Amino acid sequence: MEELRKAARESLQQQPDSHDLPAITLPDNIALPDSLDSLWQDLSSRRSKSDAETSEDLLVAQGFLDKWSSKSLSDRDEGVLNYLYVWSSRAALPGPVFGDISDPEGISEEKKRIIKTSRVKSTIAISVISSLATLLPIEKAADKPDIVIALASFMFDNDPWTTNTGFTKAREALQSFTAISRAEGGLSVWSIVEQVLKERIKPLFAKTRNPAITDAGRKNFHPVPLTRFDTSILDPESKPWKVHDPYATTVFEWVIAQYHSSDKEYLERHFPLLIPPTLSLIDDENLAYKSRGCNILLQLLKPIKESESDILRRTNLSSVFEDAIKQCFFSLPTITPEDDSIRLLEVAYPALLSVLKTAYQLPTVPTDKKADDRNTYITGVIRILRDHIIPSFHHISSTNTTSTASFASFPYPRLSTLLVNQLRNVLPELGIHTTKYLQEIIPVLYSTLSNPFGPAHVPLLLASVAAMRAVILNAHPRLWRWRGEILGGVCACWVYAVEEEGEIAERAEKTRELESDKSAGEALGMLKKELKGVVYLLKLALENPVDAEGDDGQLDAKERTGNEVKELVDADDVLRELLLGDIDPEDGSFFGC
C-alpha cells in the first residue's frame, strides 16, 4: 500500500491542469492484497481533512480498484465496495467554493488554487465511482440515491467543477444505470428520482418562496405579495441551492431529462415537486440561472405536450410561467450586455411559446372549448409580438439623425438578428391574423432590409427575408397596400448586396482572396437567391389574388404590378435579375429550405 500511496502522491504533484484526471502510474511488479479490506483499513485510518489529502486517498483507491480483480465478490468485499461508494459520492459533490464565481476575473489567486484542488478531488471521485460500477453495478449498490446525485452533478459540461473526464465517466455510468433500470420496468430509477426530489432538491429550494404558487405546486389565486423592500431576497442563505450546494441545479436538470412522453404517470405525480425549483431559477437575478431555468422549463414541457397531459390546465400554472418568463424580455442593452441578453432571450422566447402551445393546443379538449383555446392562444402570441419582440427591436435600434435620408442602424446586430428570428417564428402561429399587424411588422423588416450597412451582418438580412416570406404567405390578401414598402426594402437590399460583392471582387483582384471574403461572398449569394424567392412569392400573390371579387385594392394591384416592376427595372438595371430573372419554384434554396 505504501508503494501505491507514493505513486498517487507523485501523480498529484505532477498534475499540470485541473481539467483532466491525474494519471497514476503503478510499478509493474507492485503486489496488492487479495482482499478489499486492506484498502478500506488504509483509507479509514487516515482521517483526511483537506481536499488535497482526500484527492490522494481517492487516487489510491482508484489505483487499487483498477489493479485489483476478483472472479467473484464475497459478502465482505461487497460491503467494502458499498462503503467506498458512499465515501466517493460524498467526496464528488462540489462544495460552496463553486457557489459564487460569477466573475472569474475577480477571483483571487488563493481561491483559484482552492477551486483547482476541489475540482481535482471531485473528478477523481467520479472516476472512483466509475471503477466501482464495473465491480458492483450501481443498481445493486446499497446507497443508490447518493451515487446518482454525485454522478448527476457532472452532467452539465459548463459547470465550473466539471472536467472532460468527470463529464464523460459520469454520463457513461448514469446512462448504463438508467438503461438497465428502464429495461427492468423503471421502478428503480423512478423511486430514486422521487427520493432525490423530496429529500435533496425540495429542501434546498424551500427557502426561495414564490407567492405565485401554493405549497402543492398550484397557482395561488390569493397571493400575499412580498414587501416592497424585502431585503431577505439578498440574503445568500435564502438560496442554499446557489451558494452552499451549487450542484443542485445540475442534478435537477438531470431529473427533468428523465421524463419522456411514456412517463406521464410519474411526470404528473412529481409535478408539484418540479414547479418551485423551475420558477426559482427563472426568477433569479442572475441571468445565467434565468436562462437555465427557461431551458429546464422547455425540457419539462416537451414530455407534457407529447403525452397530451392537461396538467398545466388543471393547476392553472400557464399564467404563472408566462408572468415569470416575461420578466426576462427586459434584459436588453445597454443595461444588459449583448452576449448575456442573447443567451437568455434565445431560450426565453421559445419557452414562452411552448407554454402557450402546451396549455392551449390540447387535442383532448372538447370541441366546444377548442375555439376558446385557439383564441386564447392567438391572444398570447400577439402579446409576444406586440409587447415584447417589436418594442425590444426598436429599443436596441437607433436612427441616424445626421443624415437627410434618415435610416435605422443596428448597434447590436446579433441581438437584432435573434429578435427578427423570433418574429419569423411567431408569424406562422398567427396565420391570417398577421394582417392586423402589418403596420407594425412591415416597418421593422423594411428598415432592416434597406439599411446600407446591412451586408456587414448578413444573418440579420437573411432573418428579415425569412420573416418577409412568412408575411407574404400569411397576409397575401392585404399585401397590395404594402407592396411599395416590401419592394422598396427588397430592392435596396439587393443593390447593397451587389455593391458588396463588387467590393469583394476588387479586393480579390488586388490581393489574394481572404477566407473571410470567401465566406461573405457565399452568404451574399445565398441572400440574393432568397431575395429573388421573396419577389417571386410577392408577384405570385399580387397577380393571382384569392377571393378578390369586389376588392378594388387587390384587383388594382393585379393590373398594375407588372408595370410597376418594369418601372423599377427601367430606373435601375441592376434590379433586372431580381425582379425579372427566372427561378425554379421547385428549388428550395430560393425559399430558405
pLDDT digits (tens, 9 = 90+) for 147-193: 999 999 999 988 999 999 999 999 999 999 999 988 877 678 999 99
Kindly report the three-state secondary structure assignment for every residue of 98-144.
HCCCCCHHHCCHHHHHHHHHHHHHHHHHHHHHHHHHHHCCHHHCCCH
Please say if the pLDDT value at position 390 is more than 90.
yes
Region for 441 from its dihedrals, namely left if φ exceeds 0, alpha if ψ lies in -120 to 50, beta otherwise: alpha
Q: How far is CA 316 from the centre of its chain?
A: 25
Distance of alpha carbon 114 from alpha carbon 524, whole angstroms: 50
Locus of grid cell 507523485:
10
Confidence of residue 405 (pLDDT cuts 50, 70, 90): very low
Please, what is the end-to-end C-alpha distance for the chain in angstroms?
Answer: 64
Mean pLDDT of 485-514: 89
State residue 22's pLDDT score. Answer: 67
Residues linked to residue 398 through DSSP beta bridges, in sequence order: 409
* Residue bearing the bigger pLDDT, 106 or 213: 213
Q: Interior CA angle at 487 toward 486 and 492, to 5°? A: 105
Distance of alpha carbon 132 from alpha carbon 54, whole angstroms: 17
Residues linked to residue 409 through DSSP beta bridges, in sequence order: 398
For the segment 206-258, what is each residue's pLDDT rounded down to a tens digit? 887 777 887 767 788 767 665 655 556 667 778 899 999 999 999 999 999 99
For the segment 13-63, what is each residue's pLDDT rounded down to a tens digit? 776 555 666 666 666 667 777 778 888 888 888 776 788 889 989 988 988
Confidence of residue 404 (pLDDT cuts 50, 70, 90): very low
Q: Single out the residue of 77, 66, 79, 88 nearest to residue 36, CA to CA.
A: 77
For the segment 512-544, what is each residue's pLDDT rounded down to a tens digit? 667 777 888 999 999 999 999 999 999 999 999
Note if the bond before 334 is cis, omega within 30 degrees.
yes
For every residue of 6-72, DSSP letters joined together read HHHHHHHHT---TTS-------TT----SSTHHHHHHHHTT---SHHHHHHHHHHHHHHHHH---SS
Tell me the helix, strand and coil percentages in the chain, rounded to 5: 70, 0, 25
State residue 401's pLDDT score. Answer: 39
3-class DSSP state of 156? coil
Mean pLDDT of 563-587: 94
Confidence of residue 407 (pLDDT cuts 50, 70, 90): low
Q: How far is CA 479 from the centre of its chain?
A: 36
**What is the pTM assigned to this prediction?**
0.91
Confidence of residue 106 (pLDDT cuts 50, 70, 90): low
State residue 42's pLDDT score. Answer: 83
CA distances from 104 to 316, 338, 340, 341 (A): 41, 19, 15, 19
State residue 406's pLDDT score. Answer: 52
Confidence of residue 500 (pLDDT cuts 50, 70, 90): very high
Confidence of residue 576 (pLDDT cuts 50, 70, 90): very high
3-class DSSP state of 338? helix
* Alpha helices by DSSP H, 260-366: 264-283, 287-306, 311-315, 318-326, 338-360
Please say if the pLDDT value at position 371 is more than 80.
yes
State residue 220's pLDDT score. Answer: 80
Distance of alpha carbon 208 from alpha carbon 276, whole angstroms: 8
For the segment 303-358, what is each residue's pLDDT rounded down to a tens digit? 999 999 999 988 889 999 999 999 999 999 999 999 999 999 999 999 999 999 99
* Cβ count near 56 (within 10 Å): 22
State residue 187's pLDDT score. Answer: 74
Distance of alpha carbon 74 from alpha carbon 62, whole angstroms: 20
Mean pLDDT of the chain: 89
* Residue bearing the bigger pLDDT, 125 or 508: 125
State residue 399's pLDDT score. Answer: 57
